[in-house]
Amino acid sequence: MPVLAGVLLVAGCATTDRSVGVALFERARYADARAYYEDQAQDDARNTALDRNEAGVAALLGGDVVGARAHFYEAYLDMEDLSSTTGETIGALVGPARSRRFKGEPHERCLNAYYLGITNWLLGDVDNAAAAFRAGVLRDADSAEGASQSDFALLWYLLGQAQRAALHSDRGEQAFAQARELQPDNPWTKKENAETGNVVVVLETGWGPEKVPAGYGGAALRFRRTYGGPAAYASISSAGRSLGDTFLIGDVYHQAVTRGDGVVDDVNQGKAALKGAAHAAGVIVLHESDSSRDDALGAALLLGSLLTPSEADVRTWRSLPAGVQVLVADLPPGEHVLRVDVRDSAGNPLPDLAQEIPVVVRSGHVTLAWTRTVPATAWSAAAARYADAAAPDTGNRGTR
């Protein structure tokens, strides 16, 4: 019995409590959330990519686009490297899947590329923004065994817009065609809207899905929607003139659940079966035992079942949005303020989430305006600061 108790203690070792960072996000304490995740990134190499992505979102919400881009870029490099050391591979086979370095599920890897593209564009680098969005498309295409899916309409759409902004040869025509095919009912993917206008508004809503264990031994990975708040869309205006309503182009939960199971989770299923068989055999042997030898065998089987972790890796990029919406507008060159009136599904205004986004529109350029439906943040003031300090062909909010 003492041996069994010791095994229970080993098998039940706790992992890092990541709820601290989530609580800071929920309370709009973005500077504290950033500091927390930056500290975590230094403390545990297994979670470096995850912590840098979380810190990047916190920095972006806090108005530090340069710092956000640095975090997303470092995470991009780490998530791009899908190799594992021998020790990590063995660890995932005989221990918890979380013993490996976090590389993210396919949708998380795609959204890392999305944020890298967003921050590049906000800093005026539309060529690298387009490259990042294309990388996201390629990550989506490679996300399922033997299939080329590339069904992430958000990434196709932003790739087209960035290529149009960067004056690429086809002005994003092919990418826009893919986005229209995936979302034919979205008014902003229609040719007359997508390929005209000089302001692209990107609006994030809510919080993304959680990963939860399911099945025997928690070996299967499932996704669960989280409550993202009442925001459904936003009405955009400038100087009292309506520019239209945003429309959903990226449902993060949908992208998560339409991906295939990872290799490690297949291994987990096998470990779960082994764990269950060993436990059942141990119980039977002990029940039928009539000798100390049988007792030892039964105890060994039970110990083996306890020492075979099969839980799926449920480490989650919690600060992802639930959805991403877009709108395209045409404004004359100069400084403008976009009024973002967030509404619920019934069209009722949500004044606590209303925002104003300063943008600088330049002749012949496409401006990106990014925001998220969270309580008032440092973003508006930061956006104005970046715009004021912008060089002629650069600037925050995608002034380009």
Residue-wise pLDDT tens digits, 14-26: 456 678 888 898 8
pLDDT of 222 reads 83
Mean pLDDT calculated for residue range 315-332: 95
Q: What is the DSSP letter of 108?
A: H
Helices 153-165 and 126-141, packing angle to 10 deg: 150
Q: With 90 as the cut, is the pLDDT of residue 299 above it?
A: no
pLDDT of 387 reads 42
Q: With 90 as the cut, is the pLDDT of residue 51 above it?
A: yes
pLDDT of 15 reads 52
Q: With 80 as the cut, is the pLDDT of residue 85 above it?
A: no
Confidence of residue 265 (pLDDT cuts 50, 70, 90): very low
pLDDT of 93 reads 36
Mean pLDDT calculated for residue range 371-390: 53
The kind and range of the H/E element at 153 are helix 153-165
Q: Percentage helix, strand, coil, to 5, in the chain?
A: 50, 15, 35
Confidence of residue 28 (pLDDT cuts 50, 70, 90): confident
pLDDT of 332 reads 96
Work out the percent of the chain whose per-residue pLDDT is above 70. Answer: 68
Identify the residue with better confidence: 400 or 356.
356
Q: With 80 as the cut, is the pLDDT of residue 57 above it?
A: yes
One DSSP character per residue, 25-65 reads HHTT-HHHHHHHHHHHHHH-GGGHHHHHHHHHHHHHHTT-H
Superfamily of domain 2-267+310-388, CATH level 4: Tetratricopeptide repeat domain (1.25.40.10)
Identify the residue with better confidence: 304 or 352.
352
pLDDT of 328 reads 98
pTM for the model stands at 0.78
Mean pLDDT calculated for residue range 236-254: 96
Q: With 80 as the cut, is the pLDDT of residue 344 above it?
A: yes
394 in Cβ contact with 124 (< 8 Å): yes
Q: What are the distances in angstroms from CA 379 to CA 5, 116, 230, 304, 356?
A: 52, 17, 21, 53, 10
Q: Which of 173-182, 209-218, 250-259 has the weakest average pLDDT?
A: 209-218
pLDDT of 260 reads 37
Mean pLDDT over all residues of the chain?
78
Confidence of residue 276 (pLDDT cuts 50, 70, 90): low
Q: With 90 as the cut, is the pLDDT of residue 121 above it?
A: yes
